[in-house]
Amino acid sequence: MSTDAIVLLKDDHKQILSTFKEFEEAGPNAYKTKGKLVEKMIELLTVHTYIENEVMYPQVRAALPELEDDVLESYEEHHVADVLVMELSMMKPEDERFDAKTMVLIENVRHHIEEEEDEWFPKVREGLGRNELQRMGAEMLEAQKTAPRRPSQPSALKKTIDAVIS
């Protein structure tokens, strides 16, 4: 398995997008299925945003100051996702706004993934190079082991609060 940071993040993106597609294909009254899929989304997104916020973004920001605006925008996009994930974690699939809130999350995250993969990742790959991306990826894999899985876990709450007050 590659430890290239961008390859790891793209693998996460594939899993996340696949879960989104399953949600969209579930029937309107598939409450149990949708509930399980949103639980999976919450875990995938909580872990993913954690490793990006804790490892990738700070290191890219330090090494490639010309990407500062991109990193700050990514933090804000994560913040929006964090708020939606927190709200969804407290809802039931039968709730009137559950599907609508999930679709807003999906649309926001899809936009974020497209920007990262089409615009940001190529700049990062060019600016950092293979060895640095391998080192960063190994660090991300380590961070993944202790990353929060639910938005209510203290390290996830800290990430959300930091996004609000930073």
Question: Average pLDDT over the chain, rounded to whole?
Answer: 90
Binned at pLDDT 50, 70 and 90, residue 105 comes out as: very high
Confidence class for position 156, pLDDT limits 50, 70, 90:
low
**Residue 90 belongs to what domain range?**
5-165
Instruction: Report the pLDDT value the prediction gives residue 79, as an integer from 0 to 100.
Output: 87
Portion of the chain with pLDDT greater than 90, in percent: 78
Q: How many domains does the chain have?
A: 1
Q: Tokens 């579930």 map to which residue?
A: 26
Higher-confidence position of 102 and 163: 102
Distance in angstroms (rounded) separating the CA atoms of residues 83 and 59: 24
What pLDDT is recorded for position 148? 83
How far is 104 from 2, CA to CA, in rounded Å? 32
